[in-house]
Structure 1
Amino acid sequence: MSGAEKEVAGAFTDRCTCRGIDIHCHVVPGSFPPPANGATVRGWPSMIAANACHATVVIDDKPYRRISDACWVAERRLEEMDRTGIRIQALSPMPELFGYWIERAAAHDLVRYVNDAIAVMIGQAGGRFVGLGGLALQDVDLAIVELHRIVGELGFRGVEIGSNINGVPIGDPRFHPFFVEAEKLNAAVFVHALRPTGMDRLLGPAPLQQVLGYPTDVGLAAASVITGGLLQKFPKLRIAFSHGGGTFASLLPRLQQGYSALPTLNEIMPESPAVQARRFYVDSLVFDADMLRHLVAVFGEDRVVLGTDYPFNFREKEPVARIEEAFADVQLRERLTFANARAFLGLDEV
């Protein structure tokens, strides 16, 4: 057991009363270096400080997102975690920092930099953070190199990947070599919405991407895992989907009926979609107690994990209270608040 792993294990035996484990929270470094060799790389991020506590991420000379220093200051996060009952945060990159759309070597440099920033924060928090790193999945070979580094050298518990890689669904066979290594390394895979499809069908301002586009893309990503047979090929893979699995809980009955009624669908799915879906994990980020109860009914009591989207404004600000509102059973609350996340992140093995 590494020193970092001992700290995580110890985090459950100290005097802190917080018990929640948040698998969905993001990091943005406080600054970004220029691209290697002084090159100009389209899509490379930079930061403009507004004041001591806020900054704006800029991409291609356009403001992308205004953020607070909670994105990179461990102490700020710990204060909020104590207030909301969160004992452990699994830190992952802001998804726009995956850089799937930029030149491959530059994207690899970018995710390495962000992953190193996450590792620094983990070292500052006395066992209260674990890592879910980013990878440049537009180049699967480079992604595998970084996967081995963050798991083997940095001690991360797994990775965060986008719901699509430049429009290609994650269930596509071209990503199988990555999933081979993730399963081999016992690395958890957290799927986050990214640059969703269907934006041309939304009527309204840009934030509708987060509000409506994200859950749509996550639902399609989860469906691709089932129709692509990913869980048959990699039965030990631990995979979780952000935003409660998005629209997938609503798509599943149709997929199940199609499996029963349409021979072409039955042929590509050797196992029932409803059975396969109960091998997914989904986070609790649905902003509604009734929907949270529905997720438990669809995916199972041991497959829903706490998630907040911290520290961004559009987040679940009282995650433990939301679970307590939805469920009276104390043991079920404990599973959703921390026990399921321990299993997903492999912390029970530490």
Structure 2
Amino acid sequence: MTEERQTAQLKTGGDQGYLRIATEEAFATEEQVAAYLRMIRDGEADKGMVSLWGFYAQSPSPRATQIMERLLDLGERRIADMDVHGIDKAILALTSPGVQPLTDLDEAKGIATRANDQLAAACAKYPDRYIGMGTVAPQDPEWSAREIHRGAKELGFKGIQINSHTQGHYLDEPQFDPIFRALAEVDQPLYIHPSTSPDAMIGPMLDAGLDGAIFGFGVETGMHLLRLITIGIFDRYPTLQIMVGHMGEALPYWLYRLDYMHQAGVRSQRYERMKPLNKTIAGYLQSNVLVTNSGVAWEPAIKFCQEVMGEDRVMYAMDYPYQVEAREVHAMDAMTMSPETKKKFFQTNAERWFKL
């Protein structure tokens, strides 16, 4: 890409022939962050939270302070950042790990409820710029199901985001079925966003500084999606759509081996939970999984994912405010791709799957 192209002004309004809809953009609330800091201070936080939020919420470094300022703003600063980077619409969700680490159920549900109300108010104030995905407290699956219905029917939300595991528990466990039932009833997608790995998994990554977005997030979240696929979640809920970011948390690139070894495992009857499914893992990625390129502004990866999953299943995201780079928007605009496919990537796939 030429230097002139990299520094040219980015514009909203479809100047390139498409709107840019960013599909994995985060916000935070003051009480959410205060709860994290209390847990760290009181020794209640797991190692991942200490590593992640001990940095972002307390470090005086320019990266941490700028991210915190942007996370907490749902007003003019965020809109100005969107304008500068050419982002027409942002699909917003409460930043990871949401309320999922909180052990006090009333506190968790209260923070989630108020965060959803705050997001709904921001979407109402900026209806042409913001779209909401609700948050829930999977610690209480039945309450979460009711909050999914409230988000869809009263708050105007277009899906929900869950930040991977909840205190070491994964959504393939039977107690979480009310969440999937509610999603099927309102016909909305689930976005599984990364969280730091539970203590049982994080050790070797934390020791090496690989526990966060550099590696650990993808490993843990990709495993979560794979657990759901192999337990048969899409056989139970055939219309369910699950979204993941960061180019599918590596699963599209391992797909050949995943399918081969999964089928070998089913035939061998080695694992009690590994039963025959209606489709291959590849089949589910092509019918029930959606991927965003959050944090991966890399043309070869995007094209590969489009090839193996279908160009209707890959969407644009910036990953604001954790990765905000104008040069990455320019790089995506400059991809060698048909105008029709590029419009799907930036705009119409998001409009289709979020029912905008």
> Normalization by structure 2: what TM-score?
0.79
**Contact map agreement 2:210 2:216 (CA 8 A) in 1:** no
CA deviation vs aligned residue, 1:236-268 (integer Å, no higher than 9, x gap)? 112100212112123322221124434038833
SS in 2 for 1:92: strand
Larger helix proportion of the pair: 2
Distance 1:288 1:346 in 2: 27
More off after superposition, 314-323 vs 160-169 = 314-323
Change (3 A) 1:203 1:137: closer
CA positional deviation for 1:208: 4.3
Q: How does 1:295-310 map to 2 (within 5 A)?
A: 295-310=305-320
- Flag the structure with more relative contact order, 1 or 2, with Cα contacts below 8 A and sequence separation at least 6: 2
Letter in 1 for 2:284: Q
CA drift of 1:287 comes to 3.4
* Aligned residue number for residue 196 of structure 2: 195
Q: Is the 8 A contact 2:31 2:111 kept in 1?
A: no
Q: How well do the aligned residues superpose, as a CA RMSD in angstroms?
A: 3.0
Deviates more, 1:200-209 or 1:330-339: 200-209
Partner-residue secondary structure (3-state), 1:154: coil
Q: How does 1:173-322 map to 2 (within 5 A)?
A: 173-196=174-197, 198-202=201-205, 206=209, 208-262=211-265, 263=267, 264=269, 267-279=275-287, 280-285=289-294, 286-312=296-322, 314-315=323-324, 317-318=326-327, 320-322=329-331
Q: State whether residues 190 and 241 of structure 1, in contact with CA within 8 Å, keep that contact through their aligned partners in structure 2.
A: yes
Question: Residues of 2 paired with 1:43 and 1:146: CA distance?
Answer: 28
Q: CA deviation at 1:172?
A: 2.7
Query: Structure 1 CA distance, aligned partners of 2:141 and 2:123?
Result: 26
CA distance in 2, matches of 1:170, 1:305: 24
Structure 1's 176 and 256: CA in aligned 2 closer, same or farther, altered over 3 A?
same
Cα drift, residue 77 of structure 1: 1.7
Which 5+ residue runs of structure 1 have no aligned equivalent?
1-13, 46-56
Cα deviation per residue 1:64-119 (whole Å; 9 max; x = unaligned)? 85434332242122222222222111110011232334211211011112112211
TM-score calculated relative to the size of structure 1: 0.81
How far does residue 298 in structure 1 lie from its aligned partner after superposition?
Answer: 2.0
- Measured in 2, the distance between the counterparts of 1:33 and 1:304 equals 31
Task: Give, in whole Å, the separation in 2 of the partners of 1:139 and 1:44.
Answer: 25
Q: Distance in 2 between matches of 1:276 and 1:189?
A: 15
Structure 2 counterpart of 1:333, one-letter code: K
Kindly, what percent of the aligned residue pairs are identical? Answer: 22
User: Where does structure 2 lack aligned partners over 5 or more consecutive residues?
Assistant: 1-11, 43-51
Match of 1:337 among 346, 349, 352: 346
Work out the number of aligned pairs and report it: 317
CA distance in 1, matches of 2:326, 2:194: 20
What do the CA deviations read for 1:16-60 (whole angstroms, capped 9, x no partner)?
Answer: 64711111000112566988xxxx974799xxxxxxxxxxx977x
Residue identity matched to 2:336: F
8 Å CA contact 1:30–1:69 kept in 2: the answer is no
